[in-house]
Amino acid sequence: MGRQAAGDGIEAICATPHIRHDHDVRIEEVAGRVEALNERLRAEGVPVTVLQGGEVAETAVEGLGEEELAQVALGGGRWILLEPAPGPLSDTLLKRVGHLAERGHRALIAHPERHLSADMYARIAALVAAGALVQATADFFLREHTAAGMASLAKAGLIHVLSSDAHSSHGGRPVHMSEAFERLAALEQVAPHLEWMRETAPRAIVEGAELELPFGPVV
């Protein structure tokens, strides 16, 4: 996966194990495992750095202590990758965004495109208004049955960063995002903000910095 990323021009990857009841992730071991992996990458000559993080289920976030939450923040900063509960986006997700804000964290909403509903656009806009940003899966911009919907979300100003959401080097989604950014570059509403989406926002997120949105939802 590191070699796939390097071939696509990716310099850093946030490792985001699922933090939820059905995955045995030992949060206290994450930092050490990330460092061991980086040592292996350096030994293999792969020019990619792995950063710690986690994909925190909205049903798990309130049960995490302050130290645990800090250890699964993206890049060790203050941004939490928040996974919506199965089914349509609901008021509970908005509540969890507020809960994180009260604890000094910002939320990055993972793959909302998987949670279709008639009011999905309005719900995503409400999350953005509450201080969250939205991460979409790059591969969905390339699939015939999802590309149009993803473009529509992007044109509505409801996507801020992309992820590969890759789980393996042996199949499924590759650690590639350049092709999806090429699709975004072709959208006149998105093209002026491409550098912000590809460089500025991801860097700020992993550095734990604040972000000012250069565009807002149009719904």
Domain hosting 81: range is 55-206
Overall number of domains in the chain: 1
What CATH number does residue 82 fall under? 3.20.20.140
> With left for phi above 0 and alpha for psi between -120 and 50, is residue 137 left, alpha or beta?
beta
pLDDT of res. 128: 97
Residue 9 lies in a domain: no
Residue 152 lies in a domain: yes
pLDDT, tens only, 177-186: 999 999 999 9
Examine the pLDDT at 170 and tell me if it is beyond 90: no
Closest CA to 193 of 216, 214, 209: 214
Pair 207, 75: CB distance under 8 Å? yes
Residue 110 lies in a domain: yes
pLDDT, tens only, 146-155: 999 999 999 9
| pTM for this prediction | 0.95
